[in-house]
Amino acid sequence: MEYTYLTPEIINKIEEYKKEFLTKEQVIIQALHLIYSKYRDITLDHMLELSNYLEVPLSQIEGIVSFYDMFRVKRNARHHIRVCKNLPCHIMGCKKLIELFEKLTGEERNQESKNGRFYIETVECIGACSVAPAFMIDDDLYDGTKITEEKLNEILSKYT
Ligand code: FES
């Protein structure tokens, strides 16, 4: 069977994971990571191919995607901003940071993007608590500790 999204590299990796990981769920999670880092998104087509390839129900894959923030389907935007709202980041001022993102992008958190450039999502810990309030834009991780409006504007301008 020919796959559109599961490239030979992705398939080879999945086969390696199958040998390494004990459960099918762990293989699915790793496969989703591969797809996400290649396409920066997990779409229904990606999930359908993966379900077909791994011979698992689509509903199982959809369940994992909706459970993990990391894979949450990117809306209709080119860039995906993720701001951690977990306790350490909350204490360090993520609320202000989120408001700043909303102000500078003209978008609302967790709402479909209006202009198709940014989608802002508030998420649980992204594993960068030492630089709380932490945020990511696509695959880039940022230290939010000393962020100012000017700096954030500069950062955003890199994502067209
Ligand atoms: S709590 Fe925010 S990155 Fe860990």
* Residue 3 falls inside a structural domain: no
Mean pLDDT of 86-95: 93
* Residue 147 falls inside a structural domain: yes
Residues 120 and 101 in one domain: yes
* Residue 2 falls inside a structural domain: no
Q: Which domain holds residue 12?
A: 8-71
Give pLDDT tens digits for 92-148: 999 999 999 999 999 999 888 888 899 998 887 777 888 899 999 987 889 998 899
SS3 for 16? helix
Residues 62 and 83 in one domain: no
Q: Check whether 1 has a pLDDT greater than 80.
A: no
For residue 119, the cross-strand partners are: 80
CA–CA separation, 22 vs 16, rounded Å? 12
Residue 26: band (very low, low, confident or very high) from pLDDT cuts 50, 70, 90 = confident
Residue 51: band (very low, low, confident or very high) from pLDDT cuts 50, 70, 90 = very high
Residues 106 and 56 in one domain: no
CA of 16 to the centre of ligand 1 (A): 31
Percent of the chain at pLDDT above 90? 52
For residue 136, the cross-strand partners are: 82, 141
User: For residue 25, what pLDDT is reported?
Assistant: 86
Query: Among candidates 36, 98, 96, which has minimal Cα distance to 70?
Result: 36
CA–CA separation, 3 vs 119, rounded Å? 29
* Residue 1 falls inside a structural domain: no
Residues in the chain: 160
Pocket test for ligand 1, best of 125, 131, 141 (most atoms within 8 A of CB): 125
Residue 156: band (very low, low, confident or very high) from pLDDT cuts 50, 70, 90 = very high
- Residue numbers in the known binding site are 84, 89, 125, 129
Mean pLDDT of 43-53: 92
Residues 41 and 88 in one domain: no
Q: How many domains does the chain contain in total?
A: 2
User: For residue 148, what pLDDT is reported?
Assistant: 94
Q: Which atom belonging to ligand 1 lies closest to the Cα atom of 131?
A: 3
Residues 110 and 56 in one domain: no
Residue 70: band (very low, low, confident or very high) from pLDDT cuts 50, 70, 90 = low
Of 16, 39, 71, the domain-final residue: 71
CA of 47 to the centre of ligand 1 (A): 28
- Residue numbers in the known binding site for [2Fe-2S] cluster are 84, 89, 125, 129
Q: Which atom belonging to ligand 1 lies closest to the Cα atom of 126?
A: 3
The reply to whether ligand 1 has any atom less than 6 angstroms from the CB of 94 is: no
Residues 144 and 85 in one domain: yes
Cα–Cα–Cα angle for 46, 83, 72, rounded to 5 degrees: 20
Which CATH number belongs to the domain containing residue 106 in this structure? 3.40.30.10
For residue 120, the cross-strand partners are: 81
Q: Check whether 63 has a pLDDT greater than 80.
A: yes
Of 24, 45, 71, the domain-final residue: 71
* Residue 152 falls inside a structural domain: yes
Across all residues in the chain, what is the average pLDDT?
88
Residue 157: band (very low, low, confident or very high) from pLDDT cuts 50, 70, 90 = very high
Residue 73: band (very low, low, confident or very high) from pLDDT cuts 50, 70, 90 = low
Of 55, 71, 87, the domain-final residue: 71
Q: Which atom belonging to ligand 1 lies closest to the Cα atom of 86?
A: 1
